[in-house]
Structure 1
Amino acid sequence: MYSVDQLPLQPDELDLLNELVPLSGQQVIELGCGNARLARSLLQRFPACHVTGLEVDAVQHAKNLAQPQAGLDFLSAGAQDIPFPAASFDLALMLKSLHHVPVSLLAQALSEVARVLKPGGYLYVSEPIYDGALNEVVRLFNDEGVVRAAAQAALDEALATTGQWETVTERRFAQAVSYRDFDEFEQRMMRPSFAQHDLNDAVVALVRSAFEPHMNPAGARFVRPMHVRLLRRTGN
């Protein structure tokens, strides 16, 4: 078992990824890349790599295309239907994105990832743990308990039944998350372009009342507990 307060703080997840996976000269695909922050940092540190970022949110995809970077391509596509031939990539990244895949499509998505990875390639899945003070605030308007559990169950099922994967390692750590004030929290967390939450004045007020006790003169600071599972594609 673990305690959120005892998890090691990981200031930069790229450091952990680099510890677990060889990154020099890799062909990388990130599924549900969001703003591709880690991918951009990866290419700055390892310029011989190439990263392809897939994103289903049209607003974020347009923003990504407007910020080109050498070695980084973007496509509008989801993990359940990856538009690349078999064995195209050395490493697949899913950073807080597996639980956003519709539950009915999780098995298909993991099968697609297996298809486009080279034998011996890695799948790095980093998912938020359903725990901690930030989760207690967020679940008031976006309770992800069911979908996060489904994401972990889909990984377990793929490992147990498909013959496509083997476990390499698991890690748990904490990420520091901060917000200047409630307005920033509301914009980033409650009104993202990729999701429509069922918000009304009463819900916003409830969330504000839960958020405000975490405020201090420097803003609101949380730690988000994370669970990394590193899988290897089997085969020759």
Structure 2
Amino acid sequence: MKMKLLETNITQTINEDYLIETLNLDNKTMLELGCGKAIMTRKIANNGINRKVIACEVDENQHKLNLALNEKNIEFKLCGAENIDVEDNSIDIVFMFKSFHHIPAEFMNKALDEIKRVLKPSGFAYISEPLHQGAQNELVAMFHNEEEVRKKAFEAIKNSVDTNKFKLFKEIFFQTEVYYENFNDFENKQMNVTYNEVSITDELKSKIKEKFDSYNNGDEITLLKPFRVDILQKIV
């Protein structure tokens, strides 16, 4: 199977929660890298039987907040994907949701080595990445353009398959719906977030609003956000 950076003909519109639950996660020890606020972590840990999730985050403040959640099925750790504080051959499935491209490019290959190290023989890595395409992406890219880092992330993942670290078990393209009541709603959800360290000038904000308004005359709108999931299997 040839891996693809982008897919223009995406026909599957789903919530990613559904896709994850098609996997056999019961009685598994799982690892999530870059867990953020642990929203997905908690869903995975609590939606089945006998599940354990080790959830790693590099942001110390967020890690402290996660520890305060006191979730019985989740063990929170402060570490990055390039230096995972987990034993060899101990994890059934590794998850990364929209986080692989946040790894510094020089550490991406090391992160994949670490993922292979911690996975059990024939274990799986589920890596979900947003695509640099579509109306939602065009808006966000006006102030937070991730095209290059997403390309580098894809190249690192593809290289791990080409060099037989992993076998590509499946590549899935899908899109999710993102609803905005109006431009203010878009601004609150996308422009006023912690990952956006860019200073948005009044001039740029005006251009972004003009672009948003061009989609549906500034009224409420549902945009589609496309993703690629690479499910990799550890080659022993």
Q: Is 1:233 aligned with 2:234?
A: yes
- Cα RMSD (Å) of the superposition? 2.1
Deviations 1:158-214 (A, max 9, x none): 1112x3211101111111112333334323322322441242222222222222334
Q: Secondary structure at the match of 2:179?
A: strand
Counterpart in 1 of 2:51?
Answer: 49
CA contact (8 A) 2:213 2:219 kept: no
Alignment TM-score, normalising by the size of structure 1: 0.89
Deviations 1:59-116 (A, max 9, x none): 4333323323220122222111111121121110011111111111111111111111
CA contact (8 A) 2:29 2:93 kept: yes
User: Which is further off, 79-88 or 53-62?
Assistant: 53-62
CA contact (8 A) 2:98 2:129 kept: yes
| Cα distance, 1:58 vs structure 2 | 3.4
- Aligned residue type for 1:109: A
How far apart, in 1, do the equivalents of 2:24 and 2:180 lie?
33
CA contact (8 A) 1:89 1:121 kept: yes
From the superposition, tell whether residues 193 and 22 of structure 1 become closer, same or farther in structure 2 (CA, over 3 Å): same
| Cα distance, 1:218 vs structure 2 | 7.4
Q: Is 1:24 aligned with 2:29?
A: no
From the superposition, tell whether residues 53 and 216 of structure 1 become closer, same or farther in structure 2 (CA, over 3 Å): farther
Q: Is 1:14 aligned with 2:21?
A: no
CA contact (8 A) 1:172 1:225 kept: yes
From the superposition, tell whether residues 57 and 193 of structure 1 become closer, same or farther in structure 2 (CA, over 3 Å): farther
From the superposition, tell whether residues 60 and 178 of structure 1 become closer, same or farther in structure 2 (CA, over 3 Å): farther
User: Which is further off, 151-160 or 207-216?
Assistant: 207-216
How far apart, in 2, do the equivalents of 1:63 and 1:123 lie?
26
How far apart, in 1, do the equivalents of 2:48 and 2:133 lie?
33
- Aligned residue type for 1:8: Q
User: Which is further off, 152-161 or 180-189?
Assistant: 180-189
Matches within 5 A, 1:1-236: 2-3=7-8, 6-11=10-15, 13-19=16-22, 21-161=23-163, 163-214=164-215, 219-235=220-236
CA contact (8 A) 2:100 2:127 kept: yes
**Percent of pairs identical after alignment?**
30
How far apart, in 1, do the equivalents of 2:195 and 2:61 lie?
8
Q: Which runs of 5+ in 1 are unaligned?
A: none
Deviations 1:22-70 (A, max 9, x none): 2111111111112222221122221411111111233433332332322
CA contact (8 A) 2:82 2:110 kept: yes
CA contact (8 A) 1:47 1:71 kept: no
From the superposition, tell whether residues 122 and 136 of structure 1 become closer, same or farther in structure 2 (CA, over 3 Å): same
User: Which is further off, 140-149 or 59-68?
Assistant: 59-68
Question: Number of aligned pairs?
Answer: 231
Q: Secondary structure at the match of 1:151?
A: helix
From the superposition, tell whether residues 129 and 56 of structure 1 become closer, same or farther in structure 2 (CA, over 3 Å): same
- Aligned residue type for 1:92: V
CA contact (8 A) 1:59 1:193 kept: no
